[in-house]
Structure formats: structure tokens, C-alpha cells
Structure 1
Amino acid sequence: MTFAIQFLINVLSLGGAYALMALGLVIVYGILRLVNFAYGELIMVTGYTLFLISGSALPWFVMAAAAVAMAVVTGIATDYIAFRPVRAKSVTAVLITSFAFSTLLQNAALLFISPRPRVIPLPEIFSRTVEIGGAITPMRNLLTIAAAVILLALFAFLMRRTVLGIAMRAAATNFTMARMLGVPANLIISSAFAISGFIAGVVGLLWMGRIGTVVPGIGLEPLLVAFIATIIGGMRSLTGAVIGGFVLAFIDTSLNYTLPQELLKFRDAFTFSLVILILLWRPEGLMRGPATGQRT
């Protein structure tokens, strides 16, 4: 019973983080049909913002809010700098500018801050442990689960019950038709980048709460995780992105518990093998998105 509780907490905690990462990536893809390869750097920006203001007398929650706000601003800047000027030209141009903006942010951190890991401030609750049914787990796992539940619920409410959410769903279904019906395209796209930045900021706090440091390349692993999760769940489905995140977490956690110690270093190879099997069975992902119109 203790093992089952521990396993469930680990899957839900890791799955919550993975689901949020995937959601932040697919919300932009759903409208533009373009992958934001600078998404990982939003997490890096969150970490370095916390590091740079850590010497202030501000409470940690105020610093965390400032870090998330900076991720939102950077997300919107990604649209204005890397996407908007070239998105009407070609997919290749957008991919190149996306990579270029990602590299620019990483090199800015290398030049103006440091290539070495920097410790970020974390509240004491992140290092505490709690016992549930005999299973001892870090409080940060429970915080991740709670944050994921709250954010996913708020996102579902936004998409289903607000004018902005309905407009974003319409744009994701048929962008051209949505524009013809009066939906402001640039506002919807900027809103998608802002929401993506907000999710990335929260994920950054939770992700760095596990490791306690930030480096210029910290966003690569979350970006890879988000990309794999969206492929598993379905690139055109918001629900699929969330499901894909939990499926990937279940695979990772199961391998951690079942692989012998000497094979743990090959865990990624086993994970990708299982992902390939899933895609051979469902090439379009576990969830199919809506039929879509053309991007403009």
C-alpha cells in the first residue's frame, strides 16, 4: 500500500509538471501550427529573474510573481520578435527565428550573468517532507500536484466560459474563418503567447524547486519533455497534451521503479522506445484535434 501511494504521488507530481509544460507549448501550436522552440527559455528567464532579485527584501511570493510576470513579458516578446514579422512568409523562416531568439536569450544569460549554475531562493516548504499513508514524500511534489490541478481547472474555465477562450478555440479550429468573423487575430495570438508564458513561469518555479539552481540551458529538458508529451497526446489537442504529459510521467516513473540500477542510465532509450510503440499504434497521437483551416 505504501508503495502504491508513493508511486501515485510521483506520477501525479511529475505528470502535473509535464502536462503544464505540454499545455504551454501546444496552446501556441494550436493557433499558429508552429512550434515555439524558444519556449524552454521562458523557464530560464523565470529562474534568472528570481536569482537577480534574490538580494532584495521582497517576500518570496512577490519575487515569484515578478519572475512569472517576466516570463509572460518574454512570451509576448517572442511573438513580436520571432513570429509576427515572418509568420506570413514561410514555416521555415519562423522556425529559424524561433531558434535564433532561443539562442539569443541563452547567450544573453551566458554573457551578462554566468555560465555556471546559480542558486535561486526557495521557501522552506520546498525542502520539507510529509508522510501520507506511510509514504514519505517531499512537499514540493504535493505543491506541484496542487498547482497543476488549479491551473488546469482555470485553463479549462478560460477556454470554455470566457470570450477570449471561445475566440482562441475558434482560431484553433479555423483561423481564417475566425478572422473573417471579426476575431482580432493579433490579439488572440499575443494572448496565446502570454498564457504560454504564464504557464512556463509557474512550471519554472516548480521545476527549479526540484533542483534549486538555474543555468542558461535549463530550458532544453522541459522543451523536450513538452514536445514529446504533445506528440504522444496529439499536437492539435489541448486535452491530448495534458494526457500525453501524464502518460509520459507514468512511463518515466514506472521505468525508475522497474529498471535495474545498472540500466537506469539507459532510461531515456527505454522511454523513447515506448513512445515509438505508442506512435506506431496511434500516429496522430492519443487524441485527435479539431479539423483545422489554413493559417495566415
Structure 2
Amino acid sequence: MEFVQQLINGISLGSIYALIALGYTMVYGIIKLINFAHGDVFMVGAFVGFYAITGLGMSFFPALLLAMAVCSVFGVLIERIAYKPLRNATRIAALITAIGVSLFIEYGTIYVRGAQPEAYPGDVLPSTSFHIFGATISSQSLFILGTSVVLMVLLQFIVHKTKIGKAMRAVSYDAEAARLMGINVDNTISATFAIGSALAGAAGVIFGLYYIKIEPLMGIIPGLKAFVAAVLGGIGIIPGAMVGGLLLGVIESLVSAVGYSLWRDGVAFVVLILILIFRPSGLFGKNVREKV
């Protein structure tokens, strides 16, 4: 069954979008900033994973953990250097800075290592095929999906069951009140960037295994699509980012399946336009009155 196969492919792709979208939505939920450099953190994660596997001879899980750790530190550095000085600036100043940081990372990477693409080795994960309902599904797709789901469940545990998670929710709700209650707001914001960037780094390694080819500008389109996924689910809402990412991946795969593969990148932005027209707050969002 072609449909089942495309559905599995769509969910695997969507889980990658969901991991990146979580970083967007967490940062927006706390400091109301769209961190457009997030797609480039994803790219850095893909390269760290690649060099860990090919240069250091690591297997998949150690490479994934290393990429997450490096991206986590990288995300905190971006926040401390580029965004923290603009904490009380206008939203547009922070947004322009985010775009500047994004371009700096992309072309800094090209300057350091060149623009040539790299290819992930195909033997990192054992590749076998399963036949379910007449569809041929690779073990790699299921492995990618399983890893993504575990990371998402882990994030939900951190947000709802740990001290830093409670601090993040408090700062998201009211930063000033959280500060008065003794919560270190700056450290909480840094922790949010660290967790979101670690998930983007994991998505980069998973993306490299799934699509093989990686290059310095690879973060642009997945980054924008993950942003669409975050808006689709309701930006600032963690379950919304997960559902939005999975939905977008499935929609893309089904568009390719019916013969419109040239439209697979465009469909994300059609979805964005439709959601902004008909449900601006996203699937999980609530319309909130804002005092002017």
C-alpha cells in the first residue's frame, strides 16, 4: 500500500520538523522572540554528527549525544552574545539580529570549511526492510521516528516534572512575577536555549542519516518549515509544535505521493497562509487580547 508507506515517510520527516519546531516554540513562549538562527543550529548539529561518525569513528548514539551537547552550548552562546543585550529592545531589533546571526553562522561555516556538501555514511544504522500492509518500510525510518519520540517524551518530562521546567513555565507566564519569586530569569532563558538547541542538534544528525547529503545552507528550508510547524500547532505551545511538525511532514509526503513533488517545499507556505487566515492562533492556541 503506497499510502501506508507515504504515511510512515511523512511521520519520520515530520518528527524531524517537530524536533526543530520545539526550539522555536520554547524560545517564543519565554521571550517572545522568533529565533531565525535556529535552523542553522540544526545545520551545525548535522556537521558535528558527521565529523563525530567519520572523523572520531563514533556510532550513532554517541554522535547524537555529542551533537546535542555541542549545539546546547552553541545555543547558550548565541543567546548570551546576541540576544541578551537586546532583552529590553524592540521586537523588530531582536528579529533583525536573529536574521543576522543566522547569516553569520551560514557564511562563517562556508568560510571555515568551504561550501562543498558532505555525505553521511550509509552503514551507521543497520538497514533492513519490513513489510506491513503491503508497504515496504525501512528500519531506518522506524529508528528515526523512535529516537524523535523518545526525545519529545523526555522534553515533556523536563518541562512538567523538573525544577528547571517549572521555572521555564513560570517565566513564560510572567517573567517579572517569576523574578520576584526568586527565579533566575536569565539562567532560565539560557536553559531554554540550551534544551531547544540540543533538540535541533539531534534533528540535524537524524536528518543527515535520513537524507545523506548535508551542506552549510541546509538549515534554511527545514528551519522555515519548522517555523511553519510551530505556527500551525500554536507558537509557544510545546504539544502544538510536535503535532504541527508531524502534520506538516505527512502533508508533504502525501503531496509528493500524488505526483506534485515539485510543490513539496511550497505546500508548507500554503499551509502557513491558510492557518494565518483561518486560525491565526494555531491548532492548540487560544486568542489572547493584548493590551496596547
TM-score (norm 2): 0.90
Provide structure 2 residue ranges, at least 5 long, that are not aligned to the other structure: none
| 2:138 corresponds to | 138
Deviates more, 1:163-172 or 1:122-131: 122-131
Q: Secondary structure at the match of 1:84?
A: helix
Task: Show the counterpart of 1:178.
Answer: 178
| Equivalent residue number for residue 283 of structure 2 | 286
Report the secondary structure of 2:130's partner residue: strand
Distance in 2, matches of 1:157 and 1:217, equals 33
Asked if structure 2 preserves the Cα contact closer than 8 Å seen for 1:19 and 1:245, the reply is: yes
* TM-aligned CA distance change 1:85 to 1:271, over 3 Å: closer
- Secondary structure at 2:67's aligned position in 1? helix
Counterpart-to-counterpart distance in 2, 1:126 and 1:91: 47
Is the 2:7–2:254 Cα contact (8 Å) retained in structure 1? no
Q: Which residue of the partner structure matches residue 102 of structure 1? A: 102
1:68-117 deviation line (CA, Å, top 9, x unaligned): 21111111111111111222222232223222222222122111111110
1:277 paired with 2:274, answer yes
Q: Paired residues, what number? A: 290
Distance (whole Å) between structure 2 residues aligned to residue 59 and residue 147 of structure 1: 14
> Following TM superposition, by how much is the alpha carbon of 1:122 offset from its aligned partner in structure 2, in angstroms?
5.1
Per-residue Cα deviation, 1:31-83 (whole angstroms, up to 9, x for no partner): 00001111011122122223444223444533332222111111111111111
- Name the aligned partner's letter for residue 185 of structure 2: A
Q: Aligned partners of 1:97 and 1:273: how far apart in 2? A: 27
User: Which residue matches 1:228?
Assistant: 228
CA distance in 1 between partners of 2:241 and 2:66 (Å) = 27
Q: Which residue does 1:265 correspond to in 2?
A: 262
Alignment of 1:145-164 (within 5 A): 145-164=145-164
Contact kept, 8 Å, 2:233 with 2:244, in 1: the verdict is yes
Q: Deviations over 1:115-159 (max 9, x none)?
A: 110223454426543333332122221112101221121111111
**Residues 79 and 8 (structure 1 numbering): CA distance in 2 closer, same or farther, change over 3 Å?**
same
What residue number does 2:36 align with?
Answer: 37
CA offsets per residue over residues 152-189 of structure 1, 9 Å max, x none? Answer: 21111111111111111111111221112111101100
**Aligned CA distance change for structure 1 residues 158 and 110 (closer, same or farther; 3 Å):** same
Match of 1:15 in 2: 14
Mean alpha-carbon deviation: is it higher for 187-196 or for 120-129?
Answer: 120-129
Query: SS of 1:69's equivalent?
Result: helix
Asked if the contact 2:59/2:124 (under 8 Å) is kept, the reply is no
Gaps of 5+ in 1: none
Does structure 2 conserve the Cα–Cα contact (< 8 Å) formed by 1:60 and 1:123?
A: no
Question: In structure 2, do the counterparts of structure 1 residues 290 and 193 end up closer, same or farther at CA, with 3 Å as the change threshold?
Answer: farther
Instruction: Tell me the distance in 2 between the aligned counterparts of 1:60 and 1:151.
Output: 15
Contact in 2 for aligned 1:236/1:289 (Cα 8 Å): no
- Residue range with higher mean Cα deviation, 83-92 or 117-126: 117-126
Contact preservation (8 Å) 1:173, 1:292: no
* Higher alpha-carbon deviation: 193-202 or 91-100: 91-100
Cα-Cα RMSD: 2.3
- Residue identity matched to 1:22: A
State the shift of 1:293 in Å.
9.6
- C-alpha spacing 1:226/1:270, structure 2 compared with 1 (3 Å): closer
Tell me the TM-score normalised to structure 1 length.
0.89
What pairs with 1:37-76 in structure 2 (closer than 5 Å)?
Answer: 37-53=36-52, 54-76=54-76
